[in-house]
Amino acid sequence: MHKYNMMKKKRFLFNRLSIQQRLPVLICILLLFAIVIYGLANYYSLKKAALIIGKEHLTSLTSQMNGSLGRSAQTLKKIENSTAAQTSVIQYLKSGGKEFRPEASDALDKIARDTTWVSLELINAQFQPVLRSGKSTINIPGNIKDIVSSLHVGTDSAKVGKIYKIKNGVYFPIIAAVSDKKRVIGYIITWKSLLVTPKAVEEFSQVVGIGADFYVGNTDGSLWTNLIRPLPGVPFKINRINEIISYAGSNGDAMIVSPQLIPNTPWVIAIAFSERNILKGITTFVNWIIVIGVVLMGIGIFAAWVMSGNIIRPLKELTEAATAITQGNYTASVSMDFNQNDEIGKLAGAFNSMTAQIYQMHNDLENKVIERTSQLENVNKELEAFSYSVSHDLRTPLRAINGYSIMFKEDYGDVLDAEGNRILQNIILNAKMMGKLIDDLLSFSRLGKKDLTLTTINMQQMAESVVNDLLQHEPEDKYRIIITSLPPVETDAVMIKQVFLNLISNAIKYSAKKDTPEIEIGFKDEETQITYYIKDNGAGFDMAYANKLFGVFQRLHSQEEFEGTGVGLALVKRIIDKHKGEIWAEGEERNGATFYFSLPKK
């Protein structure tokens, strides 16, 4: 429900915008939608391509580094094999260190070509050191026999050993066998540092261009280094060699790495790329798309505003002309100074043609109204003449008939038999009824010309007064009358009294034959009107004929059952209509009726 209300509120706010404001907004939304779709589509396609290229670059770079380290290891092995094959070294070991010592020492010194060589030793077949180079800078702890034995160095061969952590450094051994007649008589063991300066690693990373991380470690995972310091481990699992492995870096970035075995060594090299760095160029591209999109949106909004202004201007003129017509100015039209060949121009031309027709029709209608008003005045005069004729010409013979009939009854009633007296009495009653019918018709016809004189009326007092007048000749305890506290209302006193008189007299008449006739007069207070009602427990009526109640001469009961002219309720309806109210009735045969009439609150 809350979501629906929010959508309704947004739709309401959009509807409050003018057309000139809506068009730029719609253009802005469409451009934004297009830019977002284009940007996302390009971003994901470029991201996919960039990751593919990045993985290929990673694999290629790792292979190059792998090959370079493998070739370096092969070179180191060749250097030591060459030294181990020198006669001075062989003779030194065979003599037990008594001969060729200077020559053997010089051969060891020549192996160390830079400061990364930290230890150079010659040992015999019993793994006992017999000669140490003067260029050695550290003592290598540990069991030399175990290190040599683990490499299985054969005659006339050399091998590169695992990486070891010694103090705060990372070193690896190169071991070459010294052989004589296909028999190993000793070993040259040199130790070389694997670490480089942080600056060198950073420069290499910059050359790569995407902030690479470097890892070199033993294949058994016993030690790793980033070429700057030893590491306790790496943030990825080497479960696949020569394949791309994805993992999360220490800072949460997505990383990819391609571990490869280094030839001629028991080592693994792994270079890791950050996906964020790979996609850095893509992010810059997306940012440029956003900037270009904002510029395009601004241009689109400005162009839409200008275009909508050209469209809105003639529409405003059409609106102003239409408003003028509604206010009675039927000569209003739209100027035609804009393009008359487009839809707006055609609409303006059609509007001007329509206003001309409306103006002509208005003039014709006014002439017809004047003509019909004159005819109506003539008809009203004829009706007034007819009313005068009815009230004077018809009343005179009726009074004569009624008077002579009464005189005849008084003078000759004793002479006439019962049937004669009955016929004479019927003549007198019908003459009186005819006179009342004429009075009711005159009242009904005059009501249309009478203006309302509105004053605040005490409806309570009026209802009580009418009831007292109608029941003054009835036995005091015959009718049970209930009148609730009726609220006052602004109405015409004379007319509304006639309403009460007709409705209450009907209630009295139609409930008179009940053993305990009961009449209730009440009201319902509503928001814009007050509804009054008169309820009785009398004869009632069939609701199927309720639509006939308020028509002239429409009666639901015979004259023998209840007297009446059939004009009273029609007169009541005309009065209520004149007050812009409503009147209706509800009833049931032999169970009474309720008549309602509503009057508007002022």
Per residue in 479-495, pLDDT (tens digit) is: 999 999 999 999 988 88
Tokens of 31: 């451009």
SS3 category, 170: strand
Higher pLDDT, 341 or 6: 341
**Residue 149: C-alpha distances to residues 126, 128, 139, 144, 146 (Å):** 12, 14, 20, 8, 5
The model's pLDDT over 259-273, given as tens digits with 9 standing for 90+, comes to 999 999 999 998 888
Pairing state of beta strands 254-257 and 267-274? antiparallel
Higher pLDDT, 325 or 562: 325
Higher pLDDT, 482 or 559: 482
- CA angle, residues 210, 214, 216, in degrees to nearest 5: 160
| pLDDT category of residue 586 using cuts at 50, 70 and 90 | very high
pLDDT of residue 489: 93
Q: How far apart are CA 281 and CA 287, in angstroms?
A: 10
| pLDDT category of residue 299 using cuts at 50, 70 and 90 | confident
What's the rounded mean pLDDT across residues 502-527? 90
pLDDT of residue 338: 54
pLDDT of residue 250: 74
| pLDDT category of residue 523 using cuts at 50, 70 and 90 | very high
| pLDDT category of residue 460 using cuts at 50, 70 and 90 | very high
Q: How far apart are CA 321 and CA 351, in angstroms?
A: 9
pLDDT of residue 172: 92
| pLDDT category of residue 168 using cuts at 50, 70 and 90 | confident
What's the rounded mean pLDDT across residues 54-73? 86
The model's pLDDT over 223-260, given as tens digits with 9 standing for 90+, comes to 888 888 888 888 888 777 888 888 887 777 888 888 99
Residue 401, class by beta-carbon neighbours within 10 Å (0-12 exposed, 13-18 middle, 19+ buried)? middle
Tokens of 131: 């000669």
pTM of the model: 0.47
